[in-house]
Amino acid sequence: MIENKELLAKKEQFSAAIEDALHEIGSPTVEIVSNKLLQDYHCSIPDCLEHPEYFRNILREVFGYADIAVIAVIKKNLGEFSLEKPVGEFLQVLSK
């Protein structure tokens, strides 16, 4: 139960960092990425903490080679949070 709550809190923090990065481009960018995640993988941004490859694929599909700039902003937004296990693994997959 406590573990679930912790994961939920992490997912919220994680989701906020990602949405902020996408907001920097333009608010509807969050909508584009969320729509694509839902359409292709039936999941939302917080679920990507467990499925980073979904998020990486969507970023590449939408932004092409410019995805590395979005990933850099996400890394910056996550800050120290990226040292924690699931977030660190997420970033590792994203950087591949």
Partner 1 sequence: MQTNLEKINPIRFLISSLLVVGFIVMIANVLGKETATITTDLLYVPISGSLLILSIVIAAKYGIQGNHGKSYLSFVGFVACWFIAELVWISSELVYHLKPFPQEAEWFYLGGYPLLLLFTIYYLKPFEKAISKKMLSYALMATTIFLVPTIYVTNSYNQNSNLIEIIWAAIYPVADSVVLFPAVIGMTLFFKGKVGFLWSLAFFAIILNIVADSGFLFLDMDKSYYTGNPIDILYLWSYILFAFGIYSHVKLHKKPKMKSYGNTEDLK
Which of 2, 4, 64, 96 is the binder for partner 1 (CB under 8 A)?
64
**Euclidean distance between CA atoms 76 and 21, whole angstroms:** 9
Q: Which tokens sit at 91?
A: 């970033």
CB of 91 to partner 1, least distance (A): 16
**Euclidean distance between CA atoms 83 and 96, whole angstroms:** 17
- State which residue, 6 or 61, has the beta carbon closest to partner 1: 61
Query: Which listed range, 4-12, 17-25, 43-51, 83-91, lies at the site for partner 1 (CB under 8 A)?
Result: 17-25
